[in-house]
Homo-oligomer: A and B are copies of this chain.
């Protein structure tokens, strides 16, 4: 009965993935606590765990911490060797690459300054491929086996075709990124989307599955996570918080409209209004109490809060997470965001603590890229087990 065997094997793979994902969410679980978590019998979980240990996807860590009732179980964790993901990031003024293991931990990382604005895409991608080759080699020396690479781009991408459709800040139109990165599976994804996915997978939140994630480098990037998945919209353009109108008769935006959030809280507007040249200088000025810098950040926070109030009223997320470079400016930016949300999101339970600062810092996008390349092993371990 091949049909029935097929169904059983499908069920087995689903259960293997359940066990792996339980360990991704909480380290150092015993077989018994995994069974309780995923709702399978202890015996079934033991069989699955044995298979995953044999395949090198799990490792044992000795007896679980005491304090639990009965004989202590052996603590299990995702393997620190074996499947890994390579992340690559194309910034306006830098390139970076890293490798994460199955746990999402960064195992090696490299970065190079680069003036990418207007630079030929081929040159950018050739340099990026060198960086990924370099971290790939370092990973191999640590018994890690990269299963794919994800390239993070500040622009609009077609994940299906592996291309960048448009990245105005780089000056790119229709660039075949995946193709240029050489052999091996390469995904291409928008950086704001990867920042949000990193938050979902690695942000350390407890069951946070519906949120708006805002980050900013040159523009304002936002992405929506809905029911634990990236919300792309009908044509892949969802999440453009930067072009939500904040003051409809406000300054002209690069997009051609007036008063978009970016004209108040985008990096260019912020630096101009603070009278400084770089984000680093802005932070330093704010730290030293400079009134222009603090005033600029407060106004930007207010504009961000107005746009986010609209988003929360429309989408009713569990939380708003501020990440990326914006998180560094949280002390000056967030009070305005919080005040606008409090006064404009009035007809539901919105609590101040629903506005969250990311703990991933500036590496969120890069880690998200790398982890998105290896995460499929957790979600569909069959492909790895067949190798």
Q: Which residues of A contact B (CB under 8 A)?
A: 4, 7, 156, 209-210, 222, 224, 226, 231-241, 243-248, 255-258, 260, 306-307, 309-311, 313-318, 340, 343-349
- Asked if B311 and A234 sit within 8 Å, CB to CB, the answer is no
> What is the chain B residue whose CB lies nearest that of A257?
B344
> What is the chain B residue whose CB lies nearest that of A253?
B346
Neighbour of A238 across the interface among B156, B235, B240, B314, CB < 8 A: B314
Q: List 17 A-B contacts (CB under 8 A).
A: A222-B314, A224-B314, A231-B315, A233-B315, A233-B317, A235-B316, A235-B318, A235-B349, A237-B348, A238-B316, A240-B316, A241-B313, A243-B347, A248-B306, A248-B340, A310-B314, A314-B314
Q: Which residues from B are CB-within-8-Å of A311? A: 310, 314
- Asked if B243 and A246 sit within 8 Å, CB to CB, the answer is no
Neighbour of A210 across the interface among B233, B245, B349, CB < 8 A: B233
Q: What separation, in Å, do the CA atoms of A235 and B345 have in the docked complex? A: 13
Neighbour of A313 across the interface among B243, B247, B316, B317, CB < 8 A: B243
- Asked if B7 and A316 sit within 8 Å, CB to CB, the answer is no
> What is the chain B residue whose CB lies nearest that of A210?
B234
Neighbour of A310 across the interface among B226, B236, B245, B345, CB < 8 A: B245
User: Number of copies of this chain in the oligomer?
Assistant: 2
Q: What separation, in Å, do the CA atoms of A236 and B348 have in the docked complex? A: 9
Q: Which residues from B are CB-within-8-Å of A310? A: 244-245, 307, 310-311, 314
- Asked if A314 and B234 sit within 8 Å, CB to CB, the answer is no
Known: A233-B315, A317-B234. A344 touches B245 (CB 8 A): yes
Neighbour of A314 across the interface among B241, B318, B340, CB < 8 A: B241
Q: What separation, in Å, do the CA atoms of A307 and B244 have in the docked complex? A: 8
Known: A235-B348, A347-B255. A248 touches B245 (CB 8 A): no
- Asked if B255 and A346 sit within 8 Å, CB to CB, the answer is yes
Q: Which residues from B are CB-within-8-Å of A243? A: 313, 344-347
Q: Which residues from B are CB-within-8-Å of A346? A: 243, 255-257
Q: What separation, in Å, do the CA atoms of A156 and B347 have in the docked complex? A: 10
Instruction: Select the residue from A247, A310, A318, A348 with max chain B CB neighbours within 10 A.
Output: A310
Q: Which residues from B are CB-within-8-Å of A318? A: 234-235
Instruction: Select the residue from A238, A313, A346 with max chain B CB neighbours within 10 A.
Output: A313
CB distance from A373 to the nearest CB of B (A): 25
Q: Which residues from B are CB-within-8-Å of A209? A: 234
Q: What separation, in Å, do the CA atoms of A241 and B347 have in the docked complex? A: 12
Instruction: Select the residue from A4, A210, A347, A349 with max chain B CB neighbours within 10 A.
Output: A347
Neighbour of A316 across the interface among B210, B236, B306, B347, CB < 8 A: B236
Q: Which residues from B are CB-within-8-Å of A224? A: 314
CB distance from A298 to the nearest CB of B (A): 14
Known: A243-B347, A256-B343, A344-B245. A237 touches B316 (CB 8 A): yes
* Pairs A-B, 5 closest by C-beta atoms: A233-B316, A244-B310, A237-B316, A240-B313, A210-B234
